């Protein structure tokens, strides 16, 4: 199996949790800074060492998942090292937060590239492998778990780039689940909240600050996210596909997508002037957009 962005934070927790349950893990990480600059082989190697010291099997990979050939290399690493591929967790990401009026095209493109293109490229090459095994008569029971965000499915000020990428990943998840079902592949996503170097403050979510007391449950610990991801990567989740799950601490909910709300219909074309009465009435009857808690 593969976890991208697994050198630190939530991805690291995923890799360790999967290994604890017996998975053979490709630990992919560029070792870059939060904004995507720089690189280091250290973080991925450290996670591999931890897994191996506990008796598990893991290999480090430093390819860029947003690079077309790099993504294929990650997939090939799993196949050549462990003889196959059953699970891909698309977790890699960066942040370049900026208000829209100040955001540059580079800040937009870099975030979209890592999150959205990276998720696409990894899933595309994995899907290609599963399609070929299916054509060869083999039965797949494979999983893709993507990483969306409340910033994308609910919205957060200062993150038009990040939010757009994460909303795209949520939609990508739903469509990919429909396309890949024929090959024995489920596709789901999580929208996690945890305190990592990418989320230095979650005060806007109302969760306060990290509790360092060793005997207290820390709702912001990245490790809280991983059991759901491991379950979604298991055979027990076979019937669940095309869904997005919010998770923070011990809280899990199913994020429900766009639904058509109040409506009006007639058998003729509307005139623009008529809509001054129609549209405000429809909006007044509709539920407001959800906050960052999905409420």
Q: Catalytic residue numbers?
A: 149, 162, 166
At residue 92's C-alpha, the angle toward residues 169 and 60, to 5°, is 140
Pairwise CA distance, residues 256 & 242, whole Å: 11
Whether 12 and 223 have beta carbons less than 8 Å apart is answered as: no
Q: How far is CA 7 from the centre of its chain?
A: 16
Pairwise CA distance, residues 278 & 5, whole Å: 48
Pairwise CA distance, residues 25 & 204, whole Å: 34
270 Rama sector, left if φ>0, alpha if ψ -120 to 50, beta otherwise: beta
Interstrand relation of 244-248 and 251-255 (parallel, antiparallel or unpaired): antiparallel
Q: Given strand 25-28, what is the order of strands in its sheet?
A: 58-61, 25-28, 2-4, 87-90, 142-147, 185-193, 244-248, 251-255
Pairwise CA distance, residues 21 & 187, whole Å: 20
């Amino acid at each position: 199996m593969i976890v991208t962005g697994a050198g630190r934070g939530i991805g690291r927790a995923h890799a360790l949790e999967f290994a604890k349950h017996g998975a053979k893990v490709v630990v992919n990480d560029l070792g870059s800074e939060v904004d995507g600059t720089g690189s280091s082989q250290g973080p991925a190697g450290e996670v591999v060492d931890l897994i191996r010291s506990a008796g598990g099997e893991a290999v480090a990979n430093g390819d860029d998942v947003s690079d077309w050939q790099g993504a294929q290399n990650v997939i090939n690493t799993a196949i050549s090292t462990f003889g196959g591929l059953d699970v891909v967790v698309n977790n890699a990401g960066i942040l370049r937060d900026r208000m829209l009026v100040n955001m540059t095209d580079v800040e937009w493109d870099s975030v979209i590239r890592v999150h959205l293109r990276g998720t696409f490229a990894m899933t595309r090459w994995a899907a290609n492998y599963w399609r070929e095994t299916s054509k060869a008569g083999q039965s797949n029971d494979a999983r893709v778990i993507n990483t969306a965000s409340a910033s994308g499915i609910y919205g957060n000020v200062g993150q038009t780039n990040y939010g757009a990428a994460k909303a795209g990943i949520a939609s990508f998840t739903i469509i990919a689940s429909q396309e890949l079902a024929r090959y024995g592949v489920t596709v789901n996503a999580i929208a996690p909240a945890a305190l990592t170097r990418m989320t230095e403050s979650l005060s806007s979510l109302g969760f306060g600050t990290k509790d360092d007391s060793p005997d207290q449950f820390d709702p912001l610990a990245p490790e809280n996210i991983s059991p759901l991801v491991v379950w979604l990567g298991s055979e027990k989740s076979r019937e669940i596909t095309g869904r997005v799950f919010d998770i923070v601490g011990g809280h899990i909910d199913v994020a429900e997508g766009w639904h058509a709300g109040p409506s009006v219909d007639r058998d003729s074309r509307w005139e623009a002037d008529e809509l001054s009465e129609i549209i405000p009435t429809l909006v007044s009857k509709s539920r407001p957009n959800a906050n960052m808690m999905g409420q």
